[in-house]
C-alpha cells in the first residue's frame, strides 16, 4: 500500500470545528475549534507537509502496532520470541519505539468519509500483514476520527488478529491551544493519576509504579506548565526525561469505560480541552525533543516545550512486564479503545481572582471560575 499517494481529507461540524487528516499515518494536519471570541482556533502544531511528521516526533500521527517503548530486543508470546527493530535509544539504550522502523505513522491507509451518529467521520483501515515489523499475526485495524457536534475529536480504535499478538494503539497529537505562536508555559495541565510507571535512563519501565505525591509529576491539581519547566533543570525526574514531562501516568479509574483523564487549558486563548479515555494510562509528553529546526507550518517556528501530547495507552513495555495490564490480543477477541479530546472555553464570568492570588492554580489572567 506504500505506493499509494497520500491524500488529505477534511471533516467539520455545524459549529465550524474542523479536522484535516492525511491518509499517510492518519496524520492530523489541522484541528480548529471555536474559541471564546467566536473565531476558529488552531490547536495542533504541524509541519509543512504530512511527509515531514515522522522525523519530527511522530507529530499528530497514528501510532502502532505498539505505542511507546518495548525493551529487551522484542517480546515472547507463548514461549516464542519476536524480535523487533531497535529504532530508538542508540547503542546505550536500544529499544523499539512507536511500532518500529515503519510504524503505522508511515503507512498509507484506506480512508472513508461518512456521516456518523455523533458527527462527521473519517475511518482509516489497514491490514498489517503477519510479521510486519516483527509482530505476529495479520492485524486488521480500523481507526475512526469523529468531529462530534459538541466540539470533540473522538477516536475509536478497533483491531482483530488471526494469531496471538500484542497491540497498543494511540495518537501522537501535539496540542498547543495558542495555535503554535509560543510555547505552552501559560497552559495549565491536570492529570487524574496518583501513580506513574518509573523508568530507567533509557525511559524503559523498571516495574515500579510509585506515587506522584511530592514529585514534579503530581499533576492532580491544575498546574501551570511554566512552573514545571522552571524546575526541569534540577528535578531528577524531569531531567531524566530530557528536561520535561515524558512519563506514563496510571489513571485513577474506578470502573472500566470512558473516564476523564486530564484537563488542558490555555489562559491566553481561553481554550480548554478535556481528555477522556477507556485506556488505563496516558503518556504525557511536553515535546522535550522538539527543536527550532522543525519544518513548521508556513511562518512559524517551534521548539522545546511548544506542545503537550496526551497519548492514551497501556503502559510501555507491557509485553515484557507480567505485572502490567496485558496488551495481548488473541484471535476471536476484539481490541477496542476510545479517546475523546473535548474542547470548550474557560468560564469568563464568575471568578474574581483573575488567577493572580488564587487556589485554582491556573496562573495570571485565568478566568476559570474555580478559584476562591
**Which residues are part of the catalytic machinery?**
172, 311
Report which secondary-structure segment, H or E, holds 171: strand 170-171
Shorter beta-carbon distance to ligand BGC: residue 72 or 369: 72
Which of 87, 185, 220, 289 binds ligand BGC (CB under 6 A)? It is: 289
Shorter beta-carbon distance to ligand BGC: residue 13 or 29: 29
Give Cα separations from 330 to 121, 346, 367 (angstroms). 28, 44, 49
- Asked if residue 132 binds ligand BGC (CB under 6 A), the reply is no
Which of 165, 171, 283, 327 binds ligand BGC (CB under 6 A)? It is: 283
x-or-dash string of contact with ligand BGC, 239-258, rule CB under 6 A: -------x------------
- Asked if residue 186 binds ligand BGC (CB under 6 A), the reply is no
Q: How many CB atoms lie within 10 A of CB 131?
A: 12
Stretch that binds ligand BGC, among 7-15, 72-80, 189-197, 281-289 (CB under 6 A): 281-289
Grid cell digits, residue 316:
510501555
309 in Cβ contact with 284 (< 8 Å)? yes
- Asked if residue 133 binds ligand BGC (CB under 6 A), the reply is no
Smallest gap from residue 287 Cβ to ligand BGC (A) = 8
Stretch that binds ligand BGC, among 107-115, 132-140, 214-222, 283-291 (CB under 6 A): 283-291
Residues from 317 through 336 that contact ligand BGC (CB under 6 A): none
**HEC secondary structure over 282-347:** EEEECCCCCCCCCCECCCCCCCCCCCEEEEEECCCCHHHCCCCCCCEECCCCCEEEEEEEEEEECC
x-or-dash string of contact with ligand BGC, 53-92, rule CB under 6 A: ----xx---------x------------------------
Helix locations, 142-206, DSSP H: none
Q: Which of 17, 22, 47 is nearest to 306 (CA)?
A: 47
Give the three-class secondary structure for 266: strand
Shorter beta-carbon distance to ligand BGC: residue 315 or 346: 315
45 in Cβ contact with 187 (< 8 Å)? no
x-or-dash string of contact with ligand BGC, 188-217, rule CB under 6 A: ---------------x--------------
Q: What is the rounded CA–CA span in Å between residue 245 and residue 259? A: 22
Report CA Rg, the chain. Answer: 20
Q: Which residues bind ligand BGC (CB under 6 A)?
A: 57-58, 68, 203, 246, 283, 285, 289, 311
Amino acid at each position: 500500500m506504500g505506493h499509494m499517494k497520500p491524500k488529505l481529507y477534511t471533516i467539520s461540524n455545524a459549529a465550524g470545528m474542523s479536522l484535516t487528516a492525511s491518509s499517510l499515518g492518519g496524520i492530523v494536519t489541522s484541528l480548529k475549534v471555536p474559541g471564546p471570541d467566536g473565531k476558529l482556533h488552531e490547536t495542533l502544531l504541524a509541519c509543512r507537509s504530512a511527509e515531514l511528521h515522522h522525523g519530527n516526533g511522530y507529530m499528530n500521527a497514528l501510532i502502532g502496532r505498539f505505542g511507546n517503548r518495548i525493551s529487551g530486543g522484542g517480546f515472547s508470546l507463548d514461549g516464542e520470541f519476536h524480535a523487533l527493530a531497535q529504532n530508538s535509544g542508540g547503542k546505550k539504550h536500544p529499544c523499539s519505539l512507536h511500532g518500529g522502523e515503519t510504524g503505522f505513522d508511515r503507512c498509507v491507509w484506506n480512508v472513508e468519509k461518512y456521516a456518523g451518529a455523533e458527527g462527521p467521520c473519517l475511518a482509516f483501515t489497514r491490514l498489517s500483514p503477519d510479521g510486519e515489523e516483527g509482530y505476529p499475526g495479520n492485524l486488521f485495524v480500523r481507526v475512526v476520527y469523529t468531529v462530534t457536534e459538541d466540539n470533540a475529536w473522538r477516536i475509536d480504535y478497533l483491531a482483530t488478529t488471526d494469531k496471538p499478538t500484542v497491540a497498543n494503539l494511540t495518537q501522537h497529537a501535539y496540542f498547543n491551544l495558542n495555535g503554535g505562536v509560543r510555547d505552552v508555559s501559560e497552559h495549565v495541565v491536570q492529570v487524574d493519576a496518583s501513580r506513574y510507571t518509573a523508568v530507567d535512563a533509557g525511559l524503559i519501565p523498571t516495574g515500579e509504579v510509585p506515587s506522584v505525591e511530592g514529585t514534579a509529576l503530581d499533576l492532580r491539581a491544575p498546574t501551570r506548565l511554566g512552573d514545571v519547566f522552571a524546575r526541569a533543570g534540577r528535578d531528577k525526574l524531569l531531567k531524566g526525561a530530557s528536561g520535561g514531562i515524558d512519563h506514563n501516568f496510571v489513571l485513577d479509574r474506578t470502573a472500566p469505560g470512558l473516564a476523564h483523564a486530564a484537563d488542558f487549558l490555555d489562559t491566553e486563548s481561553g481554550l480548554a480541552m478535556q481528555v477522556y479515555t477507556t485506556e488505563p494510562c496516558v503518556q504525557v509528553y511536553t515535546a522535550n525533543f522538539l527543536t527550532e529546526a522543525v519544518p513548521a507550518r508556513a511562518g512559524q517556528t517551534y521548539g522545546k516545550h511548544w506542545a503537550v501530547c496526551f497519548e492514551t495507552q497501556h503502559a510501555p513495555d507491557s509485553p515484557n512486564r507480567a505485572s502490567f495490564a496485558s496488551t495481548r490480543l488473541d484471535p476471536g477477541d476484539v481490541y477496542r479503545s476510545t479517546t475523546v479530546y473535548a474542547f470548550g472555553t474557560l468560564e469568563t464570568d464568575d471568578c474574581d481572582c483573575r488567577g493572580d492570588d488564587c487556589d485554582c492554580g491556573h496562573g495570571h489572567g485565568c478566568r476559570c471560575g474555580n478559584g476562591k
